[in-house]
Structure 1
Amino acid sequence: MVFAHAMFLSVTEIIALISLCILINFLVQIILSKRRPLPPGPRGFPVVGALPLLGRMPHVALAKMAKTYGPIMYLKVGSRDMVVASTPDAAKLFLKTFESNFLNRPIHAGPTILAYNSQDMVFAPYGPRWRLLRKLSNLHMLGGKALDDWADFRAAELGHMLEAMHQSSVRGEAVVLGEILVYAMANMIGRIILSRRVFATRGRELNEFKDMVVELMTTAGYFNIGDFIHWMGWMDLQGIEKGMRKLHKKFDDLISRMLDEHLESRHKRKNRPDFLDVMLANRDDINSSEEEKLTTTNIKALLLNLFTAGTDTSSSAVEWALAEMLKNPDIMRKAHDEMDRVIGRNRRLVESDIPKLPYLQAICKETFRKHPSTPLNLPRISAEACTVDGYYIPKNTRLSVNIWAIGRDPQVWENPSDFNPERFLSEKYAKIDPKGNDFELIPFGAGRRICAGTRMGVVMVEYILGTLVHSFDWKFDGEEMDMEETFGLALQKAVPLAAMVTPRLPPTCYLASN
């Protein structure tokens, strides 16, 4: 009857009716927002919202905003809702108390283009396929037993790295740390996944790979306008998506080559299959259901994860640690003193030495605190609307935990801008661990979607940093250390560290073994 009657309304009456409906809806939204208050946050601008406020260093900009708006902050970024947690307690609420509502990733251009439409382990939807990727990775590469099984490969690759550095010292050349770290780590990962070194020499191919890794980790961290203002996505105003497609093609060519070469030599590894053999066997298992099997795309995407995040995050942490030690010679001296007492100067450091080197471990923790590899945790998205600490969080809200801000929180850390490893030897902080249980220090995230490589990352950083410090005296090759950051998924040092090294051990300690 209402619809029939509406046919006889005048145009003026119809307009008035529509206006009344809009007004009622507006008033209802105001009433609901007062009953369900959003977290405080900046107002932003029409259309783009708070996007311009993030600037070139979003983690720093968001940390400054949190000082005004509080530990749980809401932003309208384009047409998307975003909530940011900036303290340990706030992070714990989202990543532990309400974790089940924040297990998935938002759909963005980065994982869609670079990560094979989110078919990898990092961005895959939470579910059976993600659990399978995680399970296989832990069993055969990233878990405790797997790490023990591949310890000889790590030692051998560090031998190659030390030999190359020793040769540089003999020639009087500075060591470019980022290059030599990527060389060692890519080869370590290659030997586990592919049963071979990825790079035989440090040449043009290695430099191209390093540039590709840095580009991926930087590009994937950009706040892409099209991700937040959907109707503008097709324009690709920043050119980000065009660059991603070109980069994806380079990585896909590289990974496809690896797969083809590996399949040709598969018969040689029947007695000791590597990680890629395990994944291929799973793919080809005719007795498994589709949910229990990987696709070729899953395998490619996982290889991309392991070769990029596995090399970049650990290498950047070691580079930041050495940069801080070169800025603070007393820290370097104390590390040398501890190692000389425990290890001496007649042999190389081995992994079993690390538990006896608390000062080295403290240096690594302090690096994770001040220079977290991932300054903003990889974003998550709310599956349903929820109320957190009295604040209404709408459905499909993007969650960012500002790990960088947590590490600089003066309510948690005394003099947080100082690099002070001794803090982790004090009673207050000694038991704090970076593996996701202590929300004051979560460089790898926390909860079910914590970085799968957390254990491996800690081992690699402690072992490689300890070996570099124990094996050489270091001298910065420049006037003043530049400590500026470059934002991305991983927090890069803007100016790569180059330093002169002088051997501290007998020459035989610098010979590579196979």
Structure 2
Amino acid sequence: MKEDQLNHVTLGNMADKYGPIFSLRFGSHKTLVVSSWEMVKECFSGTNDKLFSNRPCSLAFKHLFYGTESYGFSPYGKYWRELRKISIHKLLSKHQLEKFKHLHVSEVDNSFKRLYELCRNKQGGSTASVRMDDWFAYLTFCVIGRTVCGFQSTEVTGDASTQEKYKLAMDEAFRLMAMFSVSDVVPWLGWIDRLTGLTGKMKKCGKKLDEVVGIAVEDHRQKKLKISGNTTGAHMENEQEDFIDILLSIMEQSQIPGNNPEITVKSFVLDMLMGGTDTTKLVMTWTLSLLLNHPDVLDKAREEVDTHFRKKKKNIPHNPLVVDAANLVYIQAIVKESMRLYPGTTIVERVSSDDCEIGGFHVSAGTRLWINIWKMQRDSRVWKDPLVFRPERFLSNDKEMVDVKGQHYELIPFGAGRRICPGVSFSLDVLHLVLPRLILEFDIKVPQGGIDMSARPGFFNSKVVPLDVPITPRKLEAASVSPVRHMTCKIQKGGSPMYQVDYIVDVSHCLYQN
């Protein structure tokens, strides 16, 4: 296993030779490699799920994510369970996500406006060559940043705004996470990472992330003080609670666990921002790449989306672009099939907290567990023609009910068990909001030579070659109304109005107006 090789492919080849479960020595760590859904189910069922509920904390996560203070890498126990409870019930519940949906729609609208402007500014016509992976990154950062921190893509606060500083630090963090750390393999050789400067770079980047997240938290704290000190009884308009507001309210009630609630809040914010941005962007990038390489699938998807749009435009003419993903079964199948072939993370890591037995083999405490999701989701015993991109497989009777939320072990792109990614529903909501609209509003052409599907080595499953493709707005209907609309939204709690939000919406970029 080398830095320039795809570890999941190497481990997959070893599984072909040694079977779906085998052990190896990775530096100082005894490691169990699992590549079948049966073994994964055994790992994440019953008492074994609890025993494999810890994650190894790498050098990058130690210095970039507050180490074991963070929700993502804290050891299983009371502290982690309390954080999980906050995450599931206060931040990422179905009810809470529904409250945030209009913010998601607003940021997606702004991102599509930017895409239209890229086409409009192209000299000689409306077609432009666009780095779609960069646009997906921009979109997901805007949506998640708005939900977590209240960042607004239309906000201009100077050349060095908080969100711009954070975006730069986040990009640097992702770059450092992809670098090989000697101490992750042989801990007592950590001096090599210090000698090469890797440790110092990670500490410096971690300090930048802490600084910008700290500024965002303090800004929210001052805003809350301003509101609470408002003796007139008036509320600030055009404001809605985001994740930081909710966390600060919980903190005020002394319900934030841990010895340092301030660090806990900041680590929560950082986990949400970093964890959601890159994986969602990657899934959208791989999905569009697959569609462009399979024009027949893209045509079927467009037919479904166009039909849905015409029907919704007739019944709900004021906002036909907000699609109902529940009715787009083929789009859902495309997303599942894309995540089956190209999950955002190819290997899930855990570490056993006690002795246990998996597949008839004794596993000692402290053993690393590597679940090769990439290999498992291409198992020919489970999937007919496993290397073929065929969304129709999820429309058949035997696979129709298979989802990605950790209950069907043959398809677990977000993981499974107690430590499954808590943002599954959040990520799917964004995917189902963006993909149909992109297919509906734009013609995207395949560049000469097709789309290169090579993957880059690293923690995340990213593409080697950027997704740079020519796109053109689809001219299905001509605009015949004013490009500015006024809408009013009243936010209520318990039947009583709390505040009113007035929106001035510029729809001049949209070619699908009624």
Please, what TM-score do these two structures have when normalized by structure 2?
A: 0.82
SS of the counterpart of 2:444? strand
Give 5+ residue unaligned stretches, structure 1: 1-51
- 2:75 maps to what in 1? 125
Residues 213 and 195 of structure 1, relative CA distance in 2, 3 Å threshold:
closer
Alignment of 1:298-317 (within 5 A): 298-317=264-283
Shift of 1:175: 2.3
Match among 231, 238, 242 for residue 188 of structure 2: 231
Alignment of 1:426-445 (within 5 A): 426-445=396-415
| 1:251 and 2:209 correspond | yes
Match among 250, 262, 266 for residue 296 of structure 1: 262
- 2:331 maps to what in 1? 360
Q: Which has the larger radius of gyration?
A: 1
Contact 2:8 2:347 in 1 (8 A): yes
Q: Distance in 2 between matches of 1:496 and 1:309?
A: 21
Shift of 1:387: 1.9
- 1:195 maps to what in 2? 150
SS of the counterpart of 2:310? coil
- 2:464 maps to what in 1? 494
- 1:176 maps to what in 2? 131
* Cα-to-partner distance string for 1:69-89 (whole Å, 9 max, x where unaligned): 111110111121111111111
Q: CA RMSD in A?
A: 2.8
* Cα-to-partner distance string for 1:143-162 (whole Å, 9 max, x where unaligned): 21111001101111111111
- 1:376 maps to what in 2? 347
Contact 2:283 2:338 in 1 (8 A): yes
| Segment of structure 1 superposing worse, 58-67 or 489-498 | 489-498
Higher strand share: 2
Match among 331, 346, 351 for residue 297 of structure 2: 331
Alignment of 1:14-413 (within 5 A): 52=1, 56-97=5-46, 98-172=48-122, 173-197=128-152, 200=155, 212-217=169-174, 219-220=176-177, 224-236=181-193, 239-267=197-225, 272-285=240-253, 288=255, 291=257, 295-344=261-310, 353-377=324-348, 379-413=349-383
* Cα-to-partner distance string for 1:405-430 (whole Å, 9 max, x where unaligned): 11222222122222111111112211
Residues 56 and 349 of structure 1, relative CA distance in 2, 3 Å threshold:
farther
SS of the counterpart of 2:33? strand
| Segment of structure 1 superposing worse, 337-346 or 100-109 | 337-346
Q: Distance in 2 between matches of 1:416 and 1:215?
A: 35
* Cα-to-partner distance string for 1:463-492 (whole Å, 9 max, x where unaligned): 211121112111134543111112333211
Q: Distance in 1 between matches of 2:428 and 2:226?
A: 32
Q: Distance in 2 between matches of 1:199 and 1:179?
A: 18
Give 5+ residue unaligned stretches, structure 2: 123-127, 229-234, 485-503, 507-514
Shift of 1:208: 7.0
Contact 1:129 1:291 in 2 (8 A): yes
Shift of 1:338: 0.7
Q: Which amino acid aligns with 1:110?
A: A
Residues 238 and 415 of structure 1, relative CA distance in 2, 3 Å threshold:
farther
* Cα-to-partner distance string for 1:65-122 (whole Å, 9 max, x where unaligned): 1111111110111121111111111111112242121111224312211111221111
Q: Which amino acid aligns with 2:310?
A: G
Q: Distance in 2 between matches of 1:478 and 1:304?
A: 40
Please, what TM-score do these two structures have when normalized by structure 1?
A: 0.82
Contact 2:56 2:350 in 1 (8 A): yes
Percent of pairs with identical residues: 30
Contact 1:142 1:452 in 2 (8 A): yes
Higher helix share: 1
* Cα-to-partner distance string for 1:32-58 (whole Å, 9 max, x where unaligned): xxxxxxxxxxxxxxxxxxxx4675311
Q: Which amino acid aligns with 1:80?
A: H
Q: Which amino acid aligns with 2:215?
A: R
SS of the counterpart of 2:471? strand
Shift of 1:207: 7.7
Match among 475, 479, 485 for residue 455 of structure 2: 485
Shift of 1:215: 4.5
- 2:493 maps to what in 1? none
